[in-house]
Amino acid sequence: MPELPEVEHAARSLRAWLTGVAVVRAGAPATRVFRDGSNRTFQRSLPGRTLARVERRGKVLLLFFDGDVGVLSHLGMTGKWVRHQPPSGDPAPRHSRASLALADGSAVHYCDPRMFGRLALHRAAELPDLPEVRALGPDPVADGIDAAALHAALSRTARAVKAALLDQKILAGVGNIYATEALFRARVHPARAGRSLSRREVERIARGLDDTFADALARLGGDMAYLSDGAHVENPFAIYDRAGEPCPSCRRALSKATIGGRTSAFCARCQK
């Protein structure tokens, strides 16, 4: 599920489901999801609280409840927030790792089969100051991409540009799918050293990210259930997970390589 657009979708869902509706019960078994052991505080602190607002910083969600109760949520690889309406009779969500029963009779669950995601309870006022939040670079959607600043950051590293884009300190929210797609749109080879990129190429990358995120955000709630469970949805991406298929631009078979520790598809002819 979760790169910037999918996390944005989660933020919007949580706002719609939780804002202004009091929590009546909170459940949170001790699992790896609560790395810091705050599941008991979660269960004790949330009943009676009402969500005031949700912020997204890159792939991180910050939930601000009244009474200075805050929750940090990172979806990891397979985490998602789902709503469950008991009257509908549908089965309880699978792999629920935390739940909030609400005053309107619905419940909101954090589900995460692999438990790479994370929840942590904090004082709401301190959420923005947590080290893992402060360490994040600019958010390409919320803050916009400053091409000059991105060029400067990339110029400082010999790493592959794809690996640098996955570094959350450089831009917060870019993951393997969107880095792959943006570099294709920019016609830049994913293995190029960051410091080898011209200002013009970095501008194309910034544009590629903007366009890729805009397309994904426009699909929110539409066909973007790609890789979620349930109904199979066609891969909506141009080259992600399409190695061996023809390049959409030149028809040459797309290549595959491991860059920055992650599988990358690219066109060896179009991406220089």
Q: Contact residues for DNA (CB under 7 A)?
A: 1-3, 6, 32, 58-59, 74, 76-78, 94-95, 113-116, 132, 157-160, 163, 166, 168, 175-177, 227-229, 232, 241, 258, 260-263
The reply to whether 2 belongs to the active site is yes
Instruction: Return all residues near 117 (Cβ < 8 A) that are at least 6 apart.
Output: 2, 33, 73, 74, 75, 76, 77, 78, 79, 97, 110
Give the residue from 164, 119, 141, 158 showing the smallest Cα distance to 211.
141
Handedness of CA 96, 6, 124, 134 (dihedral sign): positive
Nearer to DNA, 99 or 168 (CB): 168
CB of 111 to DNA, least distance (A): 10
The reply to whether 262 belongs to the active site is yes
Active-site entry in 12, 187, 256, 262? 262
CB of 194 to DNA, least distance (A): 7
Nearer to DNA, 66 or 229 (CB): 229
The reply to whether 234 belongs to the active site is no
From the CB of residue 53, how many other CB atoms can be counted at a distance below 10 Å?
14
Active-site entry in 3, 8, 181, 201? 3
Nearer to DNA, 163 or 186 (CB): 163
Active-site entry in 56, 57, 59, 159? 59
The reply to whether 138 belongs to the active site is no
CA distance to 41, 106, 234, 270, per residue, from 208 (Å)? 42, 40, 22, 14
Q: Which residues are identified as catalytic? A: 2-3, 59, 262
